[in-house]
Structure 1
């Protein structure tokens, strides 16, 4: 089954890539010590990865893969430095070792950013970074000073339990995540965002855990279709680069494919080279 991706102004977006890259490089210059730079690098690194997939929907170009790898490195690095254990934490970013001062809770270290970090590490098949992310205390994510829907924390706990093979906890957290992602439970998100973006990855993981090939692909088709519906609902969303890739469904699809479940859905929202891990062994992450 194929789910087509919406059209984007490729030439216009290609023209802004150098500007975005320069802004990201500026943020990376001070990522070792500046909270503003870390927050900016998190947002900018993912945006660059997404915008590169406008003109390269399969993520087959070297520059595209490098941008996804960098986004993964940045997102993982800020969480590696989140739990104070010393004066600095060594992290590889753009093939260079950086020493990030440890921080404790910060506004950018929230459950939403953690989920993006987890998805990026799955897409890049980075087991060591997933090990680290799975041990980030949920209490730290709650201390960021803002408000998120409770489902986000249940979903974080589900993914942590899954990765750490805590099966009893996984069942408990997964059921809770399903319950809390019902549209009527939305408080911060609206019901549409919850049903079309929040809930689908949870159901995908459930189908994966049951090794339900047909159910998994049906759920993946639904997730990508709902992603498209959400990001084409109005003009503002249509021009938002957050819709270029279905990040969470892509990550669960990568997980499934790596573990023998055939992925039968083709879509520009699921870049083929990322899904297939086409750059395996080309870079040291």
Structure 2
């Protein structure tokens, strides 16, 4: 049982890792061609590939030798399974600690603007929110955080945090979560600019004014101003025109098709399972009666 779980986990990470590399390669050209919201959808590729890799493998045809699924002994599988569970526990503990530290700062009025909460997300602001930001700046901040809630980003981020804990040993997953969170912010910026297209300058100034420090927020949404490069990229994106509706629809259809292709490819690439059992031949009652009569008539 442990060997089977580890096999599925390994193949799931392999399929998701290849899809992550593809998403990392395509995200910048996709953003330039179809906009930030379509580029953010590229992260459906590793999700689709990983989930498809967990589906039951197709069975081998009768007479075909199936690939070996388990190449480790039970003792080795138990040891590796135990190490994986320890890593998951530590990763979850780190996530809870990081979230609690951020919430402690929020209770002291030193964190925000941000959206916290998974089931019931809400916006939090620092104590100097009213004095640091003008009325117009507070309006665009509320629009940004409201867009996060409308897009269900807090729940998506919670799912990403869980995947990060389960795949703690895979560096590609940690890289993917970091880049996906940035793409999420760019997509949210694009949605707000679609509604407030005349407020680009105000929005950029508010971004530069908003600082959160280096505190991580695993379960929630915030403007990641701790690093200069993501903030620069967000300001640059505000200067680009919004893609047309036709181009957005085309990009969305392409990403959906790529996600389906990634899922089918990941499932098809699994080692085939044990052969299907050969069904016993069906003997009709009439044949049995005829055979018995033939035997009875023989001398």
Please report the TM-score for the alignment, with normalisation by the length of structure 1.
Answer: 0.29
User: Please, what TM-score do these two structures have when normalized by structure 2?
Assistant: 0.28
Which one scores higher on RCO, CA 8 angstroms, separation ≥ 6? Answer: 2
